[in-house]
Amino acid sequence: MPAALDASRRSFLVGSAAAAGGLALGISIPFASEALAQSAPEINAWVMVRPDETVVVRIGRVEMGQGTLTGLAQLVAEELECDWSKVTTEYPTPGQNVARSRVWGNFQTAGSRGVRDSHDYMRKGGAAARQMLIQAAANGWGVPAGECTVVKGVITHSPSGRTTTYGKVAEAASKLEAPKDVQLKDPKDWTIAGKPVKRLDTAEKLNGSQIYSIDVKRPGMLNAAIKACPVFGGKLKSFDAAQVQGMPGVKKVVAVGDNAVAVVADTWWRAKTALDALPIEWDGGPNAALSSESIDQMLKEGLAAEQAFVGNQAGDIKAAIAGAAKKVEADYGFPYQHHATMEPMNATALWTNDRCEVWTATQNAEAALATAVAASGLTIDKCDVYRQNLGGGFGRRATSHDYVRQAVLIAKEMPGTPVKLIWSREEDMLHGHYHPITQARIVGALDADGNLTGLRMRISGQSILAGVNPQGLQNGRDPATFQGLNPSGTEGVLGYTIPNLLIDHAMRNPPIPPGFWRGVNNNQNALYLECFMDELAHAASKDPLEFRRKLLVNHPKHLAVLNAVAEKASWGTPAPQGVYRGLAQHMGYGSYVAACAEVSVGDNGVLKIHRIVAATDCGHAVNPQQIAAQIEGSFVYGLTALLYGEITLRDGKVEQENFDSYQMMRMDEMPEVESIVMPSGDFWGGVGEPTIFVAAPAVLNAIFAATGKRIRSGPLTKADLRRA
C-alpha cells in the first residue's frame, strides 16, 4: 500500500495509510535543503564510488532479515558492472528523500515489495551510473565512449589498451548529465544478480557488533518504560508519581497522550522497575467488556448476513448449489495473531524546540517521519528519522509507528535530552496490531461425476484497511480481504476455474487494532480454500492432486508449482510408514506457491511434521539461496501460527502477555524444508511472504490424511488429533 504522493517538487504527502491512526499530513518543504553527507562522489542517487573503489549502493527499502538489501545491491551491481566484493550499502533518511523529491522512491517495505517494486528504477540507476563512469573515462582520454568497456569496475579503452577504474573517474562522472535512456541487461546474462551470493550483512550479526534500534546510544541519553491502557480504546485516568519519584535512577514520570504513562530513568531497567511500582488507574472505556466470545458471535452473525461485499463472482451460484448432486459445507476460522518480533517496539527521540530526531526500526521510514512530525509539533524540515536495523518486522513496523509517537511525546517532556523508549515484551504483546480475525462459511456443489460446479465462500470478519487506512476502502469494500481469491490482476488470482462462484465478505470490525502480518489475508484465504478443496476432493472420491489439476487447467503457473511439489514429494507413491501427505497451492504478492507436507500423528495425538516440499515461481530469482531462506522461514512463521498462534481477549484486554502464554515453534518442531525455486521469467513476484500461505493448509490436509479429522481453525493446541 504505497503512501499517497504528490509528485510536485515542493510538496510531500504521506497518507494515513503510511502514517496510521488517521493522520494525514500535507507538508511543503524546501526542495533540496539537505543532501546526504558526501563520503564519496555521487554518480546518481543510487551509486557513489569512493576513491578506494568502494561502491556504495543507496537502498530505499529496508532490510529486516528478508535479504532485500543484498538483492537490491546485486541488481544495481549487475548493471553497474562493478566488483561485487567492493559493494557496500547505505540508507538515505526519509528527510533526505523528501528533500530530494523522493528520488529513492517509496520506503515502504511490506507486501513482499522490496525487490519486485524496486528492481526497475534501481537497475536503471546502476546502468545510468555505468554509462556516466565510462563516459567520464572516455572524456578523460578524448575517445568515444563506445570504444570503452568495463569489467568489475575497470574501464578499458580497447583500441589503445589504456585502463582506469571507477574510483579514479567517479569525481568527473558525478558532474556529467545523467543519460536519458539506459538499456537493461537481459536477465539471462546476469552474473551477480540471479546468483546465490552471500548476504552483505552477516558478519556483524555474529559478534554482537550489529546495532539494532534497541541498542542505540546517544550522548546523555535517558531511558523510558511505558504502559498504555491495556484495554483497547481505554484511557489513562490517574497515576501517583510521588510513589516512585525517589526510586533509583528515576528522572520523571510523564503522561503520554491520553492513554499511557511512562517513567524516564537513567537505565531502562530502573525505569521499568519504577513503572511496575507506579500506582496507575485506567478508564477501560467502551470496550471493557469485550471478549473473544463476543467477537466470535459478531463474526458468526456475519456468516449468514444478507449484506456483503463481493470479491469474485461467476455464473449462478444459487442454481448450482440447488442443483448439486452432492453438497459439501463447512465453517472455518482464523484467530488473531501477534507479530512478536524478537526485538520489542522501541525508538529513541531527541526533541528541542527547533529539531526532532528519531532513531528507530521501521519498515517505512517516511511513515515514521510523518508520525514524528505530527507528535513533535514541528515542521517536517525540522525532523528526521534515522533508520536502525530491525529485530524483525513481519508487518508490525510497517503501518503503525505508535512507538515513535510515544517516544517523541516523551522526549518533548525532556527537551535536549535523547530518550530511548523500549516496550517490555508484555507491552509489545498487549499493544500489537494483530493479524485480523475472520471466519468463513463455504459451500461446494458437486455433480454426479464429482466435478465442482459451484463454490460459495462467505468471509466474515475484520478488515485491515478499515483499521489502518479507511480511505483505501472502495465504497466500504476492502479489496485486500480477497487476496488470492481475485478473478484477475497480477497480485493474487484464484487459480481454480469454477463455473458458478460467489466469494463475498461481511465486514465485521471488532475494536482491536488490525495490522499487516506476514502473508496478511492470504493466510486465512489459502487455509479456507485449500482445506476445503481437500474436503471436496474427498467428497468426490478423487485424489486431491488430480481434483486440483483439473480445476487449474486455465492457470498454468498455478498448476506448475503444484506439479513441482507433487513430483518432488513423490505424490501418488507410498509415503514412509505412518507418514501422510497434504497439498496446497495459492497465489499472492505476484508469486505462485505450493507445498506438500508430510506428517505423522501418534496414537497419543502428537503431531510430527517431517518434511515440507515447497515451490515458488517468483518470476525472477535475484538470489536463489536467500529465496530458499525465506521459504524456510515462512514455514516457521506460518506453522507457529497454526500450532500455537491465538490472541484471545477478556475484559477488553489481550490475555497473552509473553512467550510463556504465546508459544513459538522451536527447533525441535521444525520440519525439513526442501525448496524449489522455479522462476518462469516474465514477471516479478514477491518472496518474503508467499510461501507462508500454503504452510498451514498443506499441514492440515496431511493431518486429515493421517487421522480422518478436519481441523478447520488453529491453533492445533486446542485440537484433539487422535484418530477418530
Partner 1 sequence: MVNLTINGTVHRVDAEPDTPLLWVIREQVGLTGTKYGCGVAQCGACTVHVDGVATRSCSLPISAVTSEHKIVTIEGLSPDTSHPLQKAWLELDVPQCGYCQTGQIMAAAALLQANPNPSDEDIVAEMTNICRCGTYNRIKAAIKLAASENRG
Count of residues near partner 1 by CB under 8 A:
62
> Which residue bears the cell 558532474?
175
The identity of residue 623, as a single letter, is: N
- For the record, the C-alpha cell of 268 comes out as 531502562
Looking only at the bridges linking them, the beta strands covering 25-28 and 11-14 are antiparallel
Is 15 within 8 Å of 24 (Cβ atoms)? yes
Q: How far is the CB of 114 from partner 1 (least distance, A)?
A: 13
In this structure, the dihedral spanned by the alpha carbons of residues 170, 176, 181 and 187, taken in order and rounded to 10 degrees, is 0
Q: Hey, which residues does 493 pair with through a beta bridge?
A: 486
- For the record, the C-alpha cell of 593 comes out as 506457491
The residues, any chain, with a CB within 8 Å of residue 382's CB and separated by 6 or more, are 354, 355, 356, 376
Q: How far is the CB of 341 from partner 1 (least distance, A)?
A: 6
Is 269 within 8 Å of 224 (Cβ atoms)? no
Q: Which stretch binds partner 1 (CB under 8 A): 159-167, 199-207, 446-454, 521-529?
A: 199-207
- Per CB under 8 A, 88 contacts partner 1: no
- Per CB under 8 A, 296 contacts partner 1: no
**b/e string for 413-443 if b means 16 or more Cβ within 10 A?**
bbeebbbbbbbbebbbbbbbbbbbbbbbbbb
Give the helix/strand (H/E) hosting 87. Answer: strand 87-90
- Per CB under 8 A, 599 contacts partner 1: no
Q: Which of 425, 608, 611, 710 binds partner 1 (CB under 8 A)?
A: 425
Q: How far is the CB of 223 from partner 1 (least distance, A)?
A: 8
DSSP character for 535? H
- Per CB under 8 A, 344 contacts partner 1: yes
Q: How far is the CB of 419 from partner 1 (least distance, A)?
A: 14
Q: How far is the CB of 354 from partner 1 (least distance, A)?
A: 30
Rg (CA), the chain: 27
Nearer to partner 1, 9 or 205 (CB): 205
Give the helix/strand (H/E) hosting 544. Answer: helix 544-551
- Per CB under 8 A, 217 contacts partner 1: yes
What's the rounded Cα separation, in Å, for the pair 36 and 145?
Answer: 30
Site mask, partner 1, residues 248-287, x = CB under 8 A?
x------------------xxxx--x--------------
Site mask, partner 1, residues 151-190, x = CB under 8 A?
----------------------------------------
> Which residue bears the cell 518432488?
568
- Per CB under 8 A, 85 contacts partner 1: no
Q: Which of 34, 171, 215, 316 binds partner 1 (CB under 8 A)?
A: 215
Nearer to partner 1, 423 or 571 (CB): 423
DSSP character for 511? S
Q: How far is the CB of 608 from partner 1 (least distance, A)?
A: 12
Q: Which of 469, 523, 585, 626 binds partner 1 (CB under 8 A)?
A: 626
In the range 311-340, which residues lie near partner 1 by CB under 8 A? 340
What's the rounded Cα separation, in Å, for the pair 147 and 674?
Answer: 47
- For the record, the C-alpha cell of 558 comes out as 498455478
Q: How far is the CB of 655 from partner 1 (least distance, A)?
A: 16
- Per CB under 8 A, 194 contacts partner 1: no
575 three-class SS: coil
Q: Which of 325, 672, 681, 708 binds partner 1 (CB under 8 A)?
A: 672
Residues that bind partner 1 (CB under 8 A): 64-67, 198-199, 201-212, 214-215, 217, 223, 248, 267-270, 273, 340-344, 389-394, 422, 424-425, 625-626, 629, 632-637, 640, 658-660, 664, 666-668, 670, 672-673
